[in-house]
Structure 1
Amino acid sequence: MMGPSVVLRISFLLVCLLLQIGMLWGQQGNRDVYVVYMGAVPADSSGNILKESHLQLLASVLQRGQHAEKTLIRSYRHGFSGFAARLSKEEALAIGRKAGVVSVFVDPIYQLHTTRSWDFLQQTMVETDPNPDSDPASSTQASDTIIGILDTGIWPESESFSDEGMGAIPSRWNGTCMKGTDFNASNCNKKLIGARYYKDDGAAATPVGRATSDSPRDELGHGTHTASTAGGNAVVQASYYGLAAGTAKGGSTAARIAMYRVCTFNGCSGSAILAGFDDAIADGVDLLSLSLGASAYFRPDFDEDPIAIGAFHAVAKGITVVCSAGNDGPDAGTVVNAAPWILTVAATTIDRRFESDIVLGGSNKAVSGEAINFSNLEKSPVYPLIYGGSAKSNSSSSDVESASRCELGALDGSKIKGKIVLCKHFHNDSPKMSKIEGLNNSGAVGAILIDDLGVAVATAYVSFPATEVSSQAAEEILTYINSTKNPVATILPTITVTKYKPAPMVAYFSSRGPSPQTSNILKPDIAAPGVNILAAWIPSDSSEVPQGQKSSAFKLVSGTSMACPHVSGIAATIKAWNPTWSPAAIRSAIMTTATQTNNDEASLTTDSGSTATPYDYGAGEVSPTSALQPGLVYEVGTEDYLQFLCNYGYQSSEIKLITTIPDGFECPENSSKDLISNLNYPSITISSLMGNGRKIVDRTVTNVGAEEETTYVASIQSPPGIDVKVTPSKLQFTKNIKKLSYQVIFSAVNSSTKGDLLGSITWSDGTCKVRSPLVVSSN
């Protein structure tokens, strides 16, 4: 038996040991991944020297016994300087006070920009074209353009990425094809010329049953979809189980593709996104396409936003960066990726509808519905039809309203078994797929969802007979149910309807302006197809395979994720035709040639039928052919963006760290957010024209059209209640004069003019029309 002194001694030693373990846990356990952003790469630094300086900086804040090499996760040393490391909060604060550090922030997790709820499965479009080789995107001229894509990876065996008939890889390409799980260098070819991946080193846990591989191979489908939309080959006889049949192709079929897998099942970590930017800049891409971003409800400032940071340095190197606007619409002020050096894309519908109609008993009346299902129901209306509100469960927690929405547990299974159930569906309800699963498990044979908001986006229900209708169409069904003793119906399988009018329409999910960050710059910039887009998919996905079928090589998906690569492909074609054009010139060509009318020759609308505005679609719907010959372009250089940062509120000392700037650069004393309107942007936005106020905005255009003498004349559509004058009203270009400036003078007609007021300025030489939208907010 031990004596009291021995017990006390052991107890003391145990306490000491526990204290040491606690201290060690404090050092190692409570640590997050932080990104340390240090701005531009110093001119006299090599990659190895820069990494060593990152390690030294990291070591200076770590406690004794901690190793910088083990704490460091990634070092950025090509396109910009910085690193990601596991730090405590105190260490992060300490490193933020060090000289040369622009910002330190917790590694954010961004999301892919498919539709906002998970019941819209990840998709993108490579649209049907009856003559796939008739456009500039397939010319040999485009074959040297390299599109870099930051996404979920790629399925290299897809026919969309075949290199048949392609020439040698451009000699300027510096990238690599990383070996990984089920992926070798041989998976790359003359089409897919590069593939990288970044290990998921963040704190987020991988979902149960999901193993995130260390490989460029796509496990989600999203990256394969966006890559084939931007630069996929023309693939004939493509379809989604017979729907949307035709030739699937990308926006620039001759372009090369480089994939940077920055996203996993956990999302897209900011540190991986920055690593993708850093490598892509060094690899030699011409353009970067990102169908991902922050939520509208988590909006970091530019110096703490990995996409804004990476895009800034990419654009400074001449790389165009195209990003999705987000899927938090239709609420105003939800647009993300709103930095002025980013080309921001909203989503619209196309002239194709996936119709799944309801046939009612008695008169065999057909009611129009929209969804994707491969219904095996009888074509005749023989199935009992019931309204959810009439099938309320006897549970004390159930109520008629919940039952009418077919919420889980609200329905009596015995009342809906063997029947088609009519349900309301609202924006904040349980996901549609959850409702459908509940109905299916309770024995219902079909479902009709009433959804005014999302009815224009065909949800893929696949094997379960389900469709969606508007409230107006639902009234007809409810009238039939209420006036018939034994109402019956059936749901027909989906058919493809083309040449649908009106189209395009702005999709309900597409995020809207104005941007809370950049209210004096119009965002989004442009709109493109993003609803039910057909593009390549991964054959390993068995989640939506109709009974008795194999996985489809193509899939229909919706989201601004799908709109973004449409514009990326168009931008790649413009770059191929004009190799010396800057990212700003390419953006300008796309914006100033956009259209604001639909195939009914009427103004663009939203999918709810209301008139759309530039806050919905930016400059308008992208026009691929017109963008190749814009006539005039609005150039913006790095120094212009620096001036923007001054006006935004950054100090000269911060800006000098972000990029290499001319000696003596200082922010003007009169810098203010109101002056952001003077950035040489293709659109003009004034956020606060007070009372009878007056505002003058400057713009400069560059002639990229006629080589000889040409004159452009301005035509003005003034916003209501605002007097707009352009001086001079004529711009005369010659062989030697390629750049000319003009001023736009805005004057409020009277103090009662209020709200967001819309107009435009169009310059024309009789051949080219160069249009700039005007948005004036009068208080």
Structure 2
Amino acid sequence: MPLYTITCKSASTKSQLTNMQGNKLLLHIFTLFVFLGATSSSPENGSNSKQVYIVYMGAADSSNASLRNDHAQLLNAVLRRNDKALVRNYKHGFSGFAARLSKEEANSIAQKPGVVSVFPDPILKLHTTRSWDFLKYQTHVKIDANPKTLSNSSSSSDVILGILDTGIWPEAASFSEEGMGPVPSRWKGTCVKSSDFNASNCNRKLIGARFYTDPNGEDDDNTPRDSLGHGTHVASTAVGAAVTNASYYGLAAGSAKGGSPESRLAVYRVCSNFGCSGSAILGAFDDAIADGVDVLSLSLGASPGFRPDLTNDPIAIGAFHAVERGIVVACSAGNDGPSSNTVVNDAPWILTVAASTIDRDFQSNVVLGGNKTIKGRAINFSPLSNSAQYPLVYGESSKTNESSLTEARQCHPDSLDASKVKGKIVLCDGRNDEYSTIEIIDTVKTLGGIGLVHITDSNGAIASYYGDFPATVISSKDGATILQYINSSNNPAATILPTTTVLDYKPAPLVPDFSSRGPSTLSSNILKPDIAAPGVNILAAWIESSSDEVPKGRKPSQYNIISGTSMACPHVSGLASTVKARNPTWGPSAIKSAIMTSAIQSDNTKTAITTDSGSVATPYDYGAGEMTTSESLQPGLIYETDTIDYLNFLCYIGLDIATVKVISRTVPDNFSCPKDSSSDLVSNINYPSIAVNFTGKGTVSVSRTVTNVGEEDETVYSPVVEAPSGVKVTLTPDKLQFTKTSKKLSYKVIFSTTLTSLKEDLFGSITWSNARYMVRSPFVLTK
């Protein structure tokens, strides 16, 4: 029975857990989550069948006891017996509950006063040594290290990062409490006990751990302990303590550390083998708000094919109430690129994170007879000799009598003759093919083949894991070179070398194909994603592995290398924790602005960041750009997006004032939705980036307000505008002059064009700078 959630009035495809190593466990999770994502959004047949719904009732402004009574009264109004109907109450950060209902009962509750929405409980999906060092040198302004702002005299801070994921492996060295001070007195959370987890598993680093039971009983693993590895990997990336001599079986060796090792960690296990239920996610948001976290990190989300309205989206709902209470919420953008309109977690109050590469590669090269070397990319522990002494055969020339040339060329199951493959390395063409490298490996191994060279451009910058089997992936261009060698040799031979780590790889960063792209389907007048961060081949802590995942003769690795926007998100939430520690009075939008306006758009070759396919990346690929770790601590100016902006946004996208007032606890008495509420007005929200609908318009203007947070009270900022051809951008005023009494200043941006129509969306930027800071806002003009 699928899970469903019920929400009450108040304030997410083909997204995948991207397993770029081919780890069998993660492949199982990926397959399972795709199935769940495809099936869980629709209720069961029959109006009387029971399933879990979420009832969302907006802001929580009453006592907990009073809220529980309100929830009970709602259930009593539609149920004869509700003793087993209630699954979970939401009472801290917002009001609502999850309950087992029929469709008719859910519809009846949805009509009751005070109920914002009632919707089936969705199942959402899970979407480093070198990465932080790489980011440290990615900068466009030289900032002097001010000891008061860039360093911490203490080895710990009071900033608390909460992670909603698959749980935690507390024994990992990344979560050591060594050097940490006492747990902050304001912490109200707990360390929940279970059969394999107790209070002693928490410490001054890992200060809290909770889990959320499956209301349908499909998952009986009731523990905060991580059995999948994803949550442990994410947590150590964000706030893991420094650990020396970390590696993945010798690869990516170095000192592993998180982005904010001084921060505290609170874990909320909302995901299991059966996915991440919306009711559990809302429960974790509710608890985290009450517990006292400062930053929340969610490396999970909906699929592009399942895009609920804001009032039916557990992540958007929970994030709204968290941000309203001063908590930064960072979420992964999804793994469904490079197609456009695939970005998820795109509500404006969420910091939405795309993925990028770092300057490290994992190469498993092919050596041909004559010692010609072809570059391959993979993670394998090949036992073959380094010399080219193994027969090399093309799949097409190894076909069975029954198979077609295309099937054999691509090495499809049952297409190859075992007598022609046994004891040989097989070259297979994977271009435009539906079978993955791992599936082709199974075919070749079954027939006695000793290695695979797979021609495919679909993996891009990702090095996939193939264990002990000698397999590597090469480009189409290099595939033609190998094929020419086979055709010109009487006895073609080759070998596949075990993986080596390549550092200072160029160009980096790139935007990988899998990272989900904008524009947002929620509103094209908000530019999403917001930021990009390392998410390809990231090394971080892992759970104790099962023996079938361990290369022969090795002990299980305490680390793993995986890829996805799941890995990018904790880089940003870790940075947000550091920014919060340095600027404790800043709210969520100030921290988001600091991270976005300090981003860079060039790679380590000093040229524009590109995508896997070689095209120049746009804000739809990476938002404001690649995150930086120093300039975001001293951004100069910030754009503060307040609750009124978000309330106006709800009006602009079509919610009525009555619903808006139920959603938020901070609606002023005199607040009302503008009479001419329209989606175009979203462009005027005080966001760090700008998106404008230019269809049928010759001129469009938007306004922004910035706050001076630099060291100088009296300073003047001048603009630099990068505008697309045919577009004029006028700023009024053309200078921003701050004084001791004028900390906030507003400006207007006027976009005008003589173009009769836009054939494609156009991109540009506005950068305000003085002698010390550069504050950049990207913009997009949509057709």
TM-score (norm 2): 0.90
Find the partner of 1:286 among 291, 294, 300.
294
Match of 1:666 among 668, 672, 678: 672
In the TM superposition, what whole-angstrom CA distance separates every residue of 1:72-125 from its partner, at most 9, and x where no partner exists? 110000000001111111111111111110001100000001xxxxxxxxxx76
Which residue is equivalent to 2:639?
A: 634
* Cα offset, 1:130, TM superposition: 10
Judged with a 3 Å threshold, the aligned counterparts in structure 2 of structure 1 residues 593 and 26 are, in CA distance, closer, same or farther, namely closer
CA contact (8 A) 1:130 1:246 kept: no
Q: 1:287 to 1:128 in 2, by over 3 A?
A: closer
Residue 263 of structure 1: which of 257, 262, 271 is its match? 271
CA distance in structure 2 between the aligned counterparts of 1:567 and 1:137, rounded to whole angstroms:
19
2:771 to 759, 766, 773: 766
- In the alignment, structure 1 segments of 5+ residues that lack a partner are 1-24, 114-123, 207-211
Q: Distance in 1 between matches of 2:647 and 2:660?
A: 7
CA contact (8 A) 2:156 2:180 kept: no
Which amino acid in 2 is paired with 1:644? F
2: CA distance, partners of 1:141 / 1:594: 27
Correspondences of 1:487-502 after superposition (within 5 Å): 487-502=492-507
1:421/1:447 contact within 8 Å kept? yes
1:35 aligns with 2:42: no
What is the distance in 1 between the residues matched to 2:384 and 2:610?
35
Contact 1:455–1:468 (8 Å) recurs in 2: no
Matched position secondary structure for 1:337: coil
Give the aligned residue type for 1:522.
Answer: L
Residue of structure 1 equivalent to 2:308:
300
- CA separation of 1:125 and 1:672: change in aligned 2, threshold 3 A: farther
Secondary structure of the corresponding residue to residue 675 of structure 1: helix
Query: 2: CA distance between counterparts of 1:410 and 1:338?
Result: 45
Aligned equivalents of 1:224, 1:753: Cα separation in 2: 46
By how many angstroms is 1:435 displaced? 2.1
- The residue type paired with residue 646 of structure 1 is C
Query: What code does the residue aligned with 2:451 have?
Result: G
- Runs of 4+ aligned residues of structure 1 deviating over 6 Å after TM superposition are 25-29, 130-135
Q: Please state how far the C-alpha of 1:777 moved relative to its aligned partner.
A: 1.9
Code of the residue aligned with 2:396 in structure 1: it is G
Q: Structure 2: which amino acid aligns with 1:373?
A: N
On the 8 A contact 1:150/1:262 being kept in 2, the answer is: yes
2:385 matches 1:378 = yes
Q: Give the structure 2 partner of residue 457 of structure 1.
A: 462
Q: CA offsets, 1:360-403, max 9 Å, x none?
A: 01x210000010001000111111111222222333xx322222
Within the alignment, does 1:56 sit opposite 2:73 as a pair?
A: yes
- Pick one of 219, 223, 229 that aligns with 2:227: 219
Among 556, 559, 566, the residue aligned to 1:554 = 559
- CA–CA separation in structure 2 for the residues paired with 1:520 and 1:27: 40
User: Do residues 645 (structure 1) and 653 (structure 2) align?
Assistant: no
Larger radius of gyration: 1
Q: C-alpha deviations, 1:701-731, integer Å up to 9, x for none?
A: 0001134211111111112211100110101
Match of 1:677 in 2: 683
Q: Identity of paired residues, percent?
A: 60
What is the Cα deviation at residue 427 of structure 1?
6.4
| Structure 2 unaligned blocks of 5 or more | 1-43, 137-144
Task: Give how far 1:609 is off.
Answer: 1.2
Aligned ranges for residues 137-536 of structure 1 at < 5 Å? 140=154, 143-202=157-216, 205=218, 212-361=220-369, 363-395=370-402, 398-426=403-431, 429-536=434-541
Is the 1:188–1:195 contact (alpha carbons within 8 Å) kept by the matching residues of 2? yes
Q: TM-score, normalised by structure 1?
A: 0.91
Aligned partner of 1:107 among 121, 135, 148: 121
What's the CA shift for 1:202? Answer: 4.0
CA 1:268 to 1:427, structure 2 compared with 1: closer, same or farther past 3 Å? Answer: farther
Amino acid at match of 1:386: V
Contact 2:363 2:376 survives alignment (8 Å): yes
What residue in structure 1 maps to residue 624 of structure 2? 619
- Report the RMSD for the aligned CA atoms in angstroms: 2.0
For 2:367 and 2:195, the matched residues in 1 are separated by 50
Deviates more, 1:450-459 or 1:508-517: 450-459
Cα contact 1:141–1:576 (8 A) shared by 2: no
Preserved CA contact (<8 Å) 1:588 1:633: yes
CA distance in structure 2 between the aligned counterparts of 1:137 and 1:564, rounded to whole angstroms: 23
- 1:599-614 matches, within 5 Å, as 599-614=604-619
Deviation at 1:453, TM superposition (A): 2.2
Structure 2 counterpart of 1:3: none
Q: Residues 142 and 572 of structure 1 are in contact (CA less than 8 Å); yes or no, is this contact kept in structure 2?
A: no
Which secondary structure state, in structure 2, belongs to the residue aligned with residue 237 of structure 1? Answer: strand
What is the aligned residue count? 729
Q: Secondary structure at the match of 1:143?
A: coil
Deviates further, 558-567 or 647-656: 647-656
Give per-residue Cα distances to partners, 1:257-302, cap 9 Å, x unaligned. Answer: 0000000000100000000100000000000000000011111111
Whether the 8 Å CA contact 2:356–2:512 is kept in 1: the answer is: yes
CA distance in 2: counterparts of 1:128 and 1:684, whole angstroms: 29
Whole-angstrom distance in 1 between the partners of 2:76 and 2:629: 52
Stretch moving more, 383-392 or 291-300: 383-392
Whole-Å separation in 2 of the counterparts to 1:264 and 1:427:
33
